[in-house]
Structure formats: C-alpha cells, structure tokens
Structure 1
Amino acid sequence: MRVTLLGTGDTTGTPTVGCDCDTCAEARRRGIERTRFSVHVENERTGESLLVDFSPDFRHQFLTQEVPLPDAGIVTHIHFDHLDGLGNAYRLLDDLPVYAADETDPQTGESVAETVTRKYDYLDRVRVHPRTPLEPFEVCGLEVTLVPVEHPPLVCYGLAIEDPETGAKLSLSGDTNYAVPEASRAVLRDPDLFLADGIVPAALCEHHPLGGDHHDDRGVPRTFGSKHMTREGAIDLAEDLAAAETRIVHTAHFYPAEEAFAEPLAVDGETYEL
C-alpha cells in the first residue's frame, strides 16, 4: 500500500493567499506547500488507487504529485475543503464510485452520501455508494471502515484502510476534536501510519473564543475550540492508538514559524510504503 499525502493543510492552506506572516513566508522560502486536505492510497497489488477526500486543489495536486488518477473515492464530510474538488471528475474520469456515510445528519437532514449525490447530480460519471459506519467494506482490493468522530456541528468520519493480504494499515482521524468515541478508536487502533488532525499547537487555544477543551492531566488542551485537535491532542491520540508512525495533517498557518515545519507535522508530497 503506497500512501501519498496530496494535501496536508487546513481550509486556507499554507502559504495562505494574501498572507505575509512568518510561517507563510518560510513556506515560500522553502518551496513547500500544505494545500487543502487529500490522501492518495494506491494498492500496488491490484494497480488501483483510492482518494480520500476531494480537495479544491485537486488539479494542482495531481499535476505536481506522481500519482495516478483515482479508481474510487471516499468523502469524510461535506465541508468544502474536503468535497469541492469532486467537480474535477468532469471530463477526467469515465467512472468514479464514491463512498460516503449513510447516517442522517440532524443539522442537514441528509447523510454525507445524500449531500454528495444532490450536490453533484450533474456528474453522470460519479456513482455514490452509501456505507454504514463501523461496517467494513471493500474498495480497490482494500478493506475500509468509516468511523464516527466529533467535528461539530456536522457529522464527520475518520477511517481505517487495511490490506487484507499484507495486514498493512492506514488510519485517519478525519477532522475531529479529541473526543473520538471508543468504538471508533478500536477500529483505528494499531496502524502502521496514522494521519491525525492537529490544526494548531495547544498554546494558541488562548486566542480561540471557546478556548481549549479535553485537557490532559497537566491542563494542556487537546482540542482547539470545539472542532479540531491541537498538536498535543493529535500526539496523545496517536499514543492511545499505538500508532507505529504519526503524521500531523490539516495544519494551519497559525503555527509559529519555528514550529510549523518540525516533526511530526506533515507537508504535501510525503509518501509512505506500508
């Protein structure tokens, strides 16, 4: 299983358009990017590939990274930075099965699968397949399980992807705060690689109107506001899941420049063989 991190940034990415902060300036100096979130997973046994989330930066990502176009896709939730790149399927792909959760979101009255179907009803090449969270399904020769996480006010899902022949396992937290349900943690546990949402360092919680939440024993917040984990929360979750390797993704340009490119924060283009 070959995993390529196509997009490792948050909603605005790094560098952020029109921003001259030290972190964005340092990213430009280094010639690196954190575009909006997307992960490419290639099953090298079958020659098929799976795309997790459809970044608005889809075109740029596939032009700059040496990965094939996807044979299938998964949508974790309906925020634009994870979904709106699906429109790139137009004229590029002859057929694209897309998998998404079938649970109805009380906020929207639709499941993620229903929202994707409605929003992209003009894409006749896209076929949406609803799937029930915590129930494994097969796609591209891999076993995939969607798991509920906490990203209020909308429903959102992390996922585990496992090669049934080799046992290689990739887990993604999805966009979430630290309060990932235990049933979901059980599915995510023991990955070879864990991609964890860690939008900012915990020290920046003082600047959020809601502050921080889910504090550890030392009082360090593991959630920034209510929607995302802090760096410290991501690391703690990775330890709880016994991840062999962890990369922090969905990071914002608000990281101080001296911390923004330190381990274990990921940047676009990283590749892992599991």
Structure 2
Amino acid sequence: MRVTLLGTGDTTGTPTVGCDCDTCREARARGVERSRFSVHVENTRTGESLLVDFSPDFRQQFLTHDVPLPDAGLVTHVHFDHVDGLGNAYRVFDDLSVNAADEVDPKTGQSVAGTIAEKYDYLDRITVRERTPFETFRTCGLDVTLVPVDHPPLVCYGLAVEDPETGAKLSLSGDTSYGVPEESKEVLANSDLFLADAIVPASLCEHHPLGGKHHDAEGVPRTFGTKHMTREGALDLAEDVGAERTRLVHTAHFYPVEEAFEEPLALDGERYEL
C-alpha cells in the first residue's frame, strides 16, 4: 500500500491566501505547502487507487504529485474543504464510485452520501455508494471501515484502510475532537500509519472563544474549541490507538513559525510504503 499525502492543511491551507504572517512567509521561503486535505491510497498489488476526500485543490494536487487518478473515492464529511474538489470529476472520469456514510445527520436531515448525491447530481460520471459505519467494505482491493468521530455540529468519520493480503493498515482520525468513541478507536487501532487531525498547538486554546476541552492530567487541552484536536491531543490519541507511526495533518497557519515545520507535522507530498 502506497500512501501519498496530497493535502495536509486545514480549510485555508498554508500559506493562506493574503496572509503575511511569519508562518506563511516561511512556508513560501521554503517552497512548501499544506493545501486542503486529501490522501491518495494506492493498492500496489492491483494498481488501483482510492482518494480520501476531494480537496478544492484537487487539480493542482494531481498536477504536482506523481500519483494516478483514483479508481474510487471516499468523503468523510460535507465541509467544503473535503468535498468541493469533487466537481473536478467533470470530463476527467468515465465512471467514479464515491463512498460515503449512509447515517442521517440530524443537523442537515441528510447523510453524507445523500448530500453528495444531491449537490453533484449534474455529474453523471460519478456513482455515490452508501456505506454503513462499522461495516467493512472492499474497494480497490482494500478493506475500508468508516467510524464516527466527533466534529460538531455535523457528522464526520474517521476510517481504517487495510490490505487483506499483506495486512498493511492505514488509519485516519478524520476531522475530530479528542472525544472519539471507544468503538471507533478499536477500528483505528494498531495501524502502520495514523493520520491525525492536529489543527493547532494546545497553547493557542487561550485565543479560542470556547477555549479548550478534554484536558489531560496536567491540564493541557486535547481539543481546540469543540471541533478539532490540538497537537497534544492528536499525539495522545495516537498513543491511545497504538499507532506505529503518526503524521499530524489538517494543520493551520496559526502554528507559531518556530513550531510550524517541526516533526511530526506533515507536508504535502509525503509518501509512505506500508
């Protein structure tokens, strides 16, 4: 299994358009980027590939990184930075299966799958496939399981991707607070590579109107506000699920410049063989 991180940033990415903060300036000086979130998973046994989330930066990501167009896709939730790149399917794909959860969101009255089917009904080249959380399905020769996480006010999902022949395993936290249900943690556990949402360091919680939550024994917040993990929370979750290797993704340009390019924060283009 070959995993390529196409987009490792949050909703505005780094550098952020129109921003002249130290972190954005340093990213430009280094020639590095954290575009909006997307992960390419290639089954090296079959040559098929799965795209997790359709970044608005889809076109540039596929022009920049040496990966094939996906044979199937998966959408974790309906925030624009994870789904709006699906419009790139127009005149690019002959037929693309897009997997998404079938669980109805009480906030919207629709499932993620239903929202995609309605929003992109003009794309006759995609087929939305409804998937039930915790029920493993096979796509691109890989076993995939969606699990609910905690990203209020909308439903959102993490996932595990396993190669049934080699046993290689990739897990993604999805956009989430530290409050991931225990049943979901069990599915995410013991992965070779864990991609964890870590939007900012815990020190920045003092600047959020809601502060932080899910504090550890020393009082360090593991959740920034209500929707995303802090760096510290993401690393604690990685330890909770016994990840062999962890990369922090969905990071914001609010990281102080002296911390923004330190390990284990990921950058676009990183590639892993599992």
Calculate the TM-score normalised by the size of structure 1. 1.00
CA distance in 2, matches of 1:178, 1:242: 15
Counterpart residue identity of residue 7, structure 1? G
Pairing 1:197–2:235 present = no
How far did 1:220 drift? 0.1
Question: Which residue number corresponds to residue 179 of structure 2?
Answer: 179
CA distance in 1, matches of 2:90, 2:103: 27
CA distance in 2, matches of 1:212, 1:108: 26
Question: Which residue number corresponds to residue 124 of structure 2?
Answer: 124
What is the 5 A alignment of 1:38-57? 38-57=38-57
Pairing 1:234–2:234 present = yes
CA distance in 1, matches of 2:127, 2:33: 31
Question: Which residue number corresponds to residue 84 of structure 2?
Answer: 84
What is the 5 A alignment of 1:1-274? 1-274=1-274
How far did 1:162 drift? 0.2
How far did 1:117 drift? 0.2
How far did 1:233 drift? 0.2
How far did 1:188 drift? 0.2
CA offsets, 1:76-115, max 9 Å, x none? 0000000000000000110100000000000000000000
How far did 1:214 drift? 0.1
Counterpart residue identity of residue 220, structure 1? V
Counterpart residue identity of residue 109, structure 2? G
CA distance in 2, matches of 1:121, 1:130: 15
Q: SS at 2:63's partner residue? A: helix
Cα RMSD for the two superposed structures: 0.2
CA distance in 2, matches of 1:241, 1:22: 34
Calculate the TM-score normalised by the size of structure 2. 1.00
How far did 1:4 drift? 0.1
How far did 1:257 drift? 0.3
How many residue pairs align between the two structures? 274
How far did 1:35 drift? 0.1
CA offsets, 1:234-260, max 9 Å, x none? 000000111000000000000000000
CA distance in 1, matches of 2:230, 2:50: 28
How far did 1:184 drift? 0.2
Counterpart residue identity of residue 92, structure 1? V
Counterpart residue identity of residue 199, structure 1? I
CA distance in 2, matches of 1:113, 1:18: 34
CA distance in 1, matches of 2:207, 2:134: 35
Q: Which runs of 5+ in 1 are unaligned?
A: none
CA distance in 1, matches of 2:231, 2:59: 29
Q: Which runs of 5+ in 2 are unaligned?
A: none
